């Protein structure tokens, strides 16, 4: 039995991943941004162990989420599922004066990775749109660029793959991988999404808990439990470390050495 923490698991793919983990006999710890959504998450997955609460758009609350998770003991895996954005028409700033997409999709998984007691496996949700992400890593806060919602989202999904591969390199004792779930009909994806919703959550559960040899790898990118080639820039180690340094600068959180 694996013990897995899943961010953003009050609805969508995160909830589906939690349900599948429980069905398979694993222990799932859920996450929601507020108490009401936490109650909804536990009601939807009655077999879950518990839920931790915190708004991942806020650095202080993201730190609190890490503290709550650490207070629960060791985990076998963490699934960084939480995500926002996609086509937001204007830049929305958090209390830390960062774009919501960057705060939740990029900075929060970095902070949680750095602060949660190191698990055996880390799983980061990217997207096929990472292929359109800006690999220059310039103006991450969108303070100079003209806002483009889909570009901002694509950038953060590129960051998620960079983060997964950076961790795989810096922490060789951890299986750290990224995946794209496909364009599926969740609240974010919308009703017009064409990919298989049922397949959308299975890869992250497989990477987090399976004993299959194909799942026990590191520094790889997957789609529906099969290897897929990510954007070549994600393999650039200097770019990976540049993102880590930027996240440290924004958050004040150090990534522990190997």
What is the maximum span of the chain, computed from C-alpha positions, in angstroms? Answer: 49
Catalytic residue among 157, 216, 229, 242: 157
Pairing label, strands 226-227, 221-223: antiparallel
Residues in the chain: 258
Is 153 among the catalytic positions? yes
Distant-in-sequence, close-in-space partners of 252: CB < 8 Å, separation ≥ 6: 59
- 31 near 83, Cβ under 8 Å? no
Catalytic residue among 86, 153, 221, 231: 153
CA distances from 38 to 5, 78, 142 (A): 14, 18, 31
In the chain, DSSP assigns E strands to: 3-6, 27-32, 50-53, 77-80, 121-125, 175-180, 221-223, 226-227
Just list the catalytic residues: 153, 157
């Amino acid at each position: 039995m694996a013990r897995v923490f899943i961010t953003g698991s009050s609805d969508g793919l995160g909830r589906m991943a939690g349900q599948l983990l429980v069905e398979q006999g694993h222990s799932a710890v859920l996450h929601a941004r507020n108490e009401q959504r936490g109650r909804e998450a536990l009601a939807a997955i009655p077999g879950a162990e518990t839920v931790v609460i915190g708004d991942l758009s806020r650095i202080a609350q993201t730190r609190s989420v890490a503290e709550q998770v650490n207070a629960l003991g060791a985990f076998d895996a963490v699934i960084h599922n939480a995500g926002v954005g996609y086509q937001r028409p204007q830049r929305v700033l958090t209390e830390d004066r960062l774009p919501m997409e960057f705060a939740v999709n990029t900075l929060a998984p970095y902070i949680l990775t750095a602060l949660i007691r190191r698990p055996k496996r880390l799983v980061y949700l990217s997207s096929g749109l990472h292929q359109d992400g800006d690999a220059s890593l310039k103006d991450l806060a969108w303070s100079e660029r003209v806002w483009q919602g889909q570009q901002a989202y694509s950038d953060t999904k590129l960051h998620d793959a960079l983060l997964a591969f950076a961790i795989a390199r810096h922490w060789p004792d951890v299986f750290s991988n990224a995946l794209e779930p496909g364009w599926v009909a969740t609240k974010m994806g919308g009703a017009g999404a064409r990919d298989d919703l049922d397949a959308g959550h299975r890869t992250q559960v497989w990477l987090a808990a399976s004993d299959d040899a194909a799942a026990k790898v590191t520094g790889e990118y997957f789609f529906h439990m099969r290897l897929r080639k990510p954007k070549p820039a994600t393999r650039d180690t200097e770019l990976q470390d540049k993102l880590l340094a930027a996240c440290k600068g924004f958050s004040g959180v150090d990534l522990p050495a190997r």
